[in-house]
Every structure is written in structure tokens, then in C-alpha cells.
Copies of this chain bind each other. A is one copy, B any other.
């Protein structure tokens, strides 16, 4: 039986790493999946759930002889792991990651690896507020967009292999420079997460607000359930773009405050109309089908 990959090493066996392992095995595209983790408990869950075949707590042995290494750790750890594995991987090995920020990681890789570089950054836009390998899903990447680094000095064959990896898992791949990726992701993903956390915090008063929680609150704050350490790292590794977009949204909220304080109904009308139009524009023009909205429940107003 021919596999696309012989030995795949997944560093970090959480939801993303576990789902990657399950997805490759389900499709018969990897002979052996090795998982690397610090905690025995996660490794045992990953072994039990079938997302990895072999468990390692040390990176050295885990990447030895691998033909694909995927770093599924929080973003801030990726550069350190790249430094560790660079001298250990065989020359034919392809390396990628799944971090939600790309510029600082890819810059580090470009600064430390000789061209043609066989580390090619990836960002699959997939995940969930659940975490841990026990929530792994062989189809997690199905239908998701995966961004793949576009830069000078990359090994074309490595780019091809990384592209194949995500496509065989069902992703639509999009090449993009790390800098543009981070600037745009700040607007549509990173800042919304920060805002969701702030909205959730607003309810932490001495009052009993439980009766006031409707579907609107649930939806606007759902992503506040993400893992704090993941979002901390995203903020730290994309600080400039996030800072810029945060300043923009603070300005918009200050404008809304001013319109409210002055009782300016026309300005408030435009504020809500602008939000509505912007959302419809970005969703209606989307190239792929809209995710079916299964929500028919009540909406808090």
C-alpha cells in the first residue's frame, strides 16, 4: 500500500495535532504517526484514540527518520522547536506548523534556515472551543481554508508536499505572505477573540445576570472559551497588527458612545447599517458555500 507519507511526527497532540493524525490515518496516507508531548496523559489519550501510533516525550528520537514534521504547539513555542529539530531532521524531511500567526514564525525560520528552506508555514482555519486529543476529528480540516506561506527561498518541493498534506485532509489551500496573513487575521479573528473575552468579562459583576443571557450573548462570546495560552501567544506574536485593529475598534466604540451621548439617531442608524452592510458584503461574496446555519433558537435583544 502506498502512502503519501511514511513517518509523520506531530509535535503537540491537542485537538489540531490529534485531528491531523486521525485524518491522515483515516485516508491511509501515513504509515506511522509519532506524537510528541510533555504530558503522559495527553499522549495516552492520543494513543487510545488512535490519532498517533507511537508516543514520545523527547523530540530528538521522534523526528529521527521522519519525512514530515508538523508542529502543533502554541505559536510562541514554534521557533524554539524549529531550532531544536533543524539539525535533527534528515534532508528530505518537510516541516510545517499550524499556528494562527505566521510572520514571526516564518521570519525566524527564514533567518535561521539555509535556502532552499524545507520549513513552510501553514495555518489551517480550523479548530473549536474544545481542546485535547480526545476531541480529535479526522474531518476537522475538511472544508476549511488553510493558508500556506508564500515567500522567497522556500523549497518548491516542500511547498508542494505541504500543499498536498492539507488538500488530502480536505482543505482549500491559499498561498499568502506571512505579513499579509497576520494583518488580515488580526481583523477577522484575533481582535474578535479579544473582544469576546472582554464582553464575557462584562458579566462578572455582583448581579445575577443569568436571566439576561440569550443566544446573542452566547454567540458573541462563544470563542471566549478558547484556551487562554493559545490566545496569549497569538497576541504576543502578532502584536503590531492586533494593536492596530484594536485601536480601530476602540475608536469605533468611542464614536458610538459619542452618538449615544449626544442622542444622534442618524449617526447611530449609520453605525448599525455600516456593520450590517460590512457583514453582508464579506459573507455574501464568499467564494465557498456558507456554513449551514443550524441555529433557529431565540435571539436575545
Contact = CB atoms under 8 A, between A and B. Distances in A.
A5 interface: no
Contacts of A61: none
Contacts of A250: 250, 253-254, 257
A249 B198 contact: yes
A250 to B, nearest CB: 5
A198 B260 contact: no
A149 B204 CA distance: 25
Interface stretch (A20-28, A35-43, A85-93, A229-237): A229-237
Nearest to A123: B301
Contacts of A268: 228, 231-232, 235-236
A99 B35 CA distance: 55
Interface in A100-137: 100, 125-129
Contacts of A236: 260, 263, 265, 268
Interface band, chain A = 35 or more
A44 interface: no
Contacts of A256: 194, 197-198, 235, 246
Given A243-B260, A249-B202, A268-B231, A193 B213 contact: no
A191 B187 contact: no
B223 A220 contact: yes
Q: Which of A100, A129, A205, A298 has the most CB of B within 10 A?
A: A298
Contacts of A300: 125, 127, 188-189
A249 to B, nearest CB: 5
B232 A275 contact: no
Nearest to A234: B301
Copies in the complex: 2
A143 interface: yes
A201 interface: yes
A141 to B, nearest CB: 8
Given A207-B184, A236-B263, A298 B217 contact: no
Interface in A2-59: none
A119 to B, nearest CB: 20
Contacts of A299: 126-129, 223
A56 to B, nearest CB: 26
Contact of A209 (B184, B259, B275): B184
Contacts of A196: 220, 275
A14 to B, nearest CB: 12
Q: Ordered nearest first, which 5 A-B pairs have the shortest CB separation? A: A197-B275, A228-B272, A200-B279, A204-B278, A294-B294
Given A145-B214, A202-B249, 14 more contacts: A100-B301, A125-B298, A147-B211, A184-B207, A197-B256, A201-B252, A202-B252, A203-B279, A225-B279, A226-B272, A226-B276, A236-B263, A236-B265, A291-B297
